[in-house]
Amino acid sequence: MPGRVIAIGDIHGCSKALKALIRAIQPGPGDRIVTLGDYVNRGPDSRGVLDTLIRLGRRCHLVPILGNHDEMLLRSRTGQPAVVAADPLDGPRPKAQRDWGAALSTLTDENLAFLERCVDYHETKSHIFLHACYDPNLPMDQQPASLLRWQSLRQGAPGPHVSGKTIIAGHTSQKNGKILDLGYLKCIDTYCYGGGWLTALDVRSGEVWRADAQGRVPSRL
Protein backbone atom coordinates (compact mmCIF):
# COMPACT_ATOMS: atom_id res chain seq x y z
CA MET A 1 0.00 0.00 0.00
CA PRO A 2 1.52 3.37 -0.99
CA GLY A 3 2.38 5.84 1.73
CA ARG A 4 0.58 9.10 2.27
CA VAL A 5 1.32 12.36 0.47
CA ILE A 6 0.82 15.22 2.92
CA ALA A 7 1.29 18.95 2.33
CA ILE A 8 2.01 21.42 5.14
CA GLY A 9 1.31 25.13 4.69
CA ASP A 10 3.38 28.19 5.60
CA ILE A 11 5.04 27.65 9.00
CA HIS A 12 6.61 31.10 9.58
CA GLY A 13 8.62 30.31 12.68
CA CYS A 14 5.78 28.52 14.50
CA SER A 15 7.81 25.56 15.73
CA LYS A 16 5.29 24.49 18.39
CA ALA A 17 2.58 24.17 15.76
CA LEU A 18 4.87 22.16 13.47
CA LYS A 19 5.86 19.75 16.25
CA ALA A 20 2.20 19.28 17.21
CA LEU A 21 1.27 18.45 13.61
CA ILE A 22 4.08 15.92 13.33
CA ARG A 23 2.91 14.23 16.54
CA ALA A 24 -0.62 14.07 15.15
CA ILE A 25 0.40 12.81 11.70
CA GLN A 26 2.97 10.27 12.93
CA PRO A 27 4.84 10.12 9.60
CA GLY A 28 6.62 6.93 8.66
CA PRO A 29 9.27 5.95 6.10
CA GLY A 30 6.68 5.38 3.37
CA ASP A 31 5.10 8.82 3.71
CA ARG A 32 5.98 11.85 1.62
CA ILE A 33 5.58 15.25 3.28
CA VAL A 34 5.75 18.35 1.09
CA THR A 35 6.31 21.60 2.97
CA LEU A 36 5.22 24.63 0.96
CA GLY A 37 7.82 27.16 2.11
CA ASP A 38 8.12 30.23 4.33
CA TYR A 39 9.80 28.47 7.22
CA VAL A 40 11.37 31.67 8.60
CA ASN A 41 10.27 35.12 9.74
CA ARG A 42 7.16 36.47 11.46
CA GLY A 43 6.85 33.69 14.07
CA PRO A 44 9.07 33.30 17.15
CA ASP A 45 11.33 30.35 16.32
CA SER A 46 12.66 30.07 12.78
CA ARG A 47 15.62 27.98 13.88
CA GLY A 48 13.34 25.57 15.74
CA VAL A 49 11.28 25.10 12.58
CA LEU A 50 14.34 24.32 10.48
CA ASP A 51 15.80 21.97 13.10
CA THR A 52 12.47 20.14 13.29
CA LEU A 53 12.26 19.79 9.50
CA ILE A 54 15.81 18.44 9.33
CA ARG A 55 14.87 15.76 11.87
CA LEU A 56 11.62 15.06 10.02
CA GLY A 57 13.60 14.36 6.86
CA ARG A 58 15.27 11.43 8.63
CA ARG A 59 11.97 9.63 9.31
CA CYS A 60 10.05 10.16 6.04
CA HIS A 61 10.50 11.45 2.50
CA LEU A 62 10.52 15.23 3.01
CA VAL A 63 10.20 17.57 0.01
CA PRO A 64 10.82 21.17 1.12
CA ILE A 65 9.77 23.96 -1.27
CA LEU A 66 11.39 27.39 -1.07
CA GLY A 67 9.16 30.30 -0.06
CA ASN A 68 9.71 34.00 -0.66
CA HIS A 69 10.74 34.65 2.95
CA ASP A 70 13.29 31.85 2.72
CA GLU A 71 14.56 33.31 -0.56
CA MET A 72 14.91 36.75 1.03
CA LEU A 73 17.00 35.35 3.84
CA LEU A 74 19.32 33.51 1.45
CA ARG A 75 19.67 36.59 -0.77
CA SER A 76 20.55 38.73 2.22
CA ARG A 77 23.22 36.22 3.21
CA THR A 78 25.05 36.84 -0.06
CA GLY A 79 24.63 40.61 0.06
CA GLN A 80 21.84 40.80 -2.51
CA PRO A 81 18.76 42.97 -1.89
CA ALA A 82 16.56 40.97 0.45
CA VAL A 83 13.25 42.15 -0.97
CA VAL A 84 12.81 41.39 -4.65
CA ALA A 85 9.06 41.99 -4.80
CA ALA A 86 6.19 43.21 -2.69
CA ASP A 87 2.48 42.58 -2.98
CA PRO A 88 0.46 45.62 -1.89
CA LEU A 89 -2.59 43.40 -1.53
CA ASP A 90 -0.82 41.09 0.90
CA GLY A 91 0.23 43.58 3.57
CA PRO A 92 3.47 45.44 4.23
CA ARG A 93 6.87 44.30 3.06
CA PRO A 94 8.47 41.67 5.28
CA LYS A 95 11.66 42.42 7.18
CA ALA A 96 13.74 45.30 5.91
CA GLN A 97 17.16 44.20 4.69
CA ARG A 98 18.92 45.51 7.80
CA ASP A 99 16.87 43.09 9.94
CA TRP A 100 18.01 39.95 8.15
CA GLY A 101 21.48 40.02 9.73
CA ALA A 102 19.93 39.37 13.13
CA ALA A 103 17.81 36.56 11.70
CA LEU A 104 20.81 34.95 10.07
CA SER A 105 22.82 35.06 13.29
CA THR A 106 20.37 32.65 14.96
CA LEU A 107 20.68 29.97 12.26
CA THR A 108 23.27 27.22 11.95
CA ASP A 109 25.18 26.15 8.85
CA GLU A 110 22.93 23.08 8.77
CA ASN A 111 19.83 25.31 8.77
CA LEU A 112 21.15 27.35 5.86
CA ALA A 113 22.18 24.24 3.93
CA PHE A 114 18.61 22.96 4.34
CA LEU A 115 17.22 26.16 2.81
CA GLU A 116 19.68 25.96 -0.05
CA ARG A 117 18.42 22.45 -0.86
CA CYS A 118 14.80 23.54 -1.12
CA VAL A 119 13.12 23.12 -4.51
CA ASP A 120 10.96 25.46 -6.59
CA TYR A 121 8.02 23.05 -6.85
CA HIS A 122 7.12 19.37 -6.61
CA GLU A 123 5.04 17.44 -9.13
CA THR A 124 3.39 14.03 -8.89
CA LYS A 125 1.08 12.18 -11.28
CA SER A 126 -1.94 13.97 -9.85
CA HIS A 127 -0.76 17.08 -7.98
CA ILE A 128 1.57 20.07 -8.23
CA PHE A 129 2.90 21.61 -5.02
CA LEU A 130 4.25 25.16 -5.01
CA HIS A 131 4.60 28.13 -2.71
CA ALA A 132 2.63 30.96 -4.28
CA CYS A 133 1.17 30.96 -7.80
CA TYR A 134 1.65 29.76 -11.40
CA ASP A 135 0.96 30.43 -15.05
CA PRO A 136 -1.78 27.95 -16.02
CA ASN A 137 -0.48 27.67 -19.60
CA LEU A 138 3.18 26.89 -18.87
CA PRO A 139 4.73 23.55 -17.90
CA MET A 140 6.26 23.66 -14.46
CA ASP A 141 9.86 23.72 -15.63
CA GLN A 142 9.11 27.00 -17.46
CA GLN A 143 7.36 28.81 -14.60
CA PRO A 144 8.90 32.19 -13.59
CA ALA A 145 10.28 32.27 -10.05
CA SER A 146 8.38 35.53 -9.48
CA LEU A 147 5.11 33.61 -9.81
CA LEU A 148 6.18 30.51 -7.90
CA ARG A 149 7.36 32.48 -4.86
CA TRP A 150 5.81 35.93 -4.90
CA GLN A 151 2.46 36.43 -6.60
CA SER A 152 -0.56 36.44 -4.33
CA LEU A 153 -3.81 34.76 -5.22
CA ARG A 154 -5.45 38.03 -4.15
CA GLN A 155 -4.27 39.43 -7.46
CA GLY A 156 -6.57 36.92 -9.13
CA ALA A 157 -6.56 33.15 -8.96
CA PRO A 158 -5.22 31.53 -12.15
CA GLY A 159 -7.29 28.95 -13.98
CA PRO A 160 -6.64 25.21 -13.94
CA HIS A 161 -3.14 24.17 -14.93
CA VAL A 162 -2.67 22.84 -18.45
CA SER A 163 -1.58 19.48 -17.00
CA GLY A 164 -4.98 18.96 -15.40
CA LYS A 165 -3.31 18.34 -12.05
CA THR A 166 -4.55 19.78 -8.76
CA ILE A 167 -2.45 22.64 -7.41
CA ILE A 168 -1.59 22.74 -3.69
CA ALA A 169 -0.28 26.19 -2.71
CA GLY A 170 0.49 28.43 0.24
CA HIS A 171 1.67 32.07 0.47
CA THR A 172 -1.74 33.78 0.34
CA SER A 173 -2.78 33.70 3.99
CA GLN A 174 -6.39 32.71 4.56
CA LYS A 175 -7.14 34.89 7.55
CA ASN A 176 -10.39 33.06 8.28
CA GLY A 177 -8.28 29.98 9.11
CA LYS A 178 -9.95 27.86 6.42
CA ILE A 179 -8.47 26.16 3.35
CA LEU A 180 -9.27 27.97 0.10
CA ASP A 181 -10.68 25.21 -2.10
CA LEU A 182 -11.37 26.01 -5.76
CA GLY A 183 -11.38 22.36 -6.73
CA TYR A 184 -8.41 22.54 -9.09
CA LEU A 185 -6.49 24.77 -6.61
CA LYS A 186 -6.20 24.52 -2.84
CA CYS A 187 -4.39 27.10 -0.71
CA ILE A 188 -3.49 25.78 2.73
CA ASP A 189 -1.77 28.83 4.26
CA THR A 190 -4.21 29.32 7.11
CA TYR A 191 -2.41 32.17 8.94
CA CYS A 192 -0.76 30.34 11.82
CA TYR A 193 1.50 33.18 12.93
CA GLY A 194 -1.43 35.63 12.93
CA GLY A 195 -3.81 33.65 15.11
CA GLY A 196 -5.02 30.99 12.68
CA TRP A 197 -3.76 27.47 12.09
CA LEU A 198 -0.86 25.55 10.65
CA THR A 199 -2.60 23.13 8.31
CA ALA A 200 -1.56 19.76 6.91
CA LEU A 201 -3.54 18.06 4.14
CA ASP A 202 -3.39 14.46 2.95
CA VAL A 203 -3.96 15.14 -0.74
CA ARG A 204 -5.30 11.65 -1.48
CA SER A 205 -7.69 11.06 1.40
CA GLY A 206 -8.54 14.69 2.15
CA GLU A 207 -7.71 14.25 5.85
CA VAL A 208 -6.74 17.53 7.54
CA TRP A 209 -4.69 18.24 10.66
CA ARG A 210 -4.39 21.63 12.34
CA ALA A 211 -2.45 23.19 15.18
CA ASP A 212 -2.23 26.75 16.45
CA ALA A 213 0.96 28.67 17.20
CA GLN A 214 0.96 27.36 20.78
CA GLY A 215 0.85 23.77 19.58
CA ARG A 216 -2.79 23.17 20.45
CA VAL A 217 -4.65 20.71 18.21
CA PRO A 218 -8.44 21.08 18.01
CA SER A 219 -10.50 18.07 19.05
CA ARG A 220 -12.78 18.67 16.05
CA LEU A 221 -12.18 20.20 12.65
Q: Where are the domains of the chain?
A: 5-211
Per-10-residue mean pLDDT of the chain, 221 residues long, equals 92 97 97 97 94 97 97 84 49 52 85 97 98 98 95 94 98 97 98 97 97 89 57
Length of the chain: 221
Q: Which CATH number fits domain 5-211: 3.40.190.10, 3.60.21.10, 3.40.50.20, 3.30.70.20?
A: 3.60.21.10
Contacts of 144 (CB under 8 A, 6+ apart): 135
At residue 220, the pLDDT reads: 59
Longest dimension (CA), the chain: 50
What phi and psi values does residue 101 have, to the nearest 5 degrees?
-60, -40
Q: Structure pTM?
A: 0.92
The set of residues, in sequence order, having a beta carbon less than 8 Å from that of 48 and lying 6+ positions away, is: 13, 15
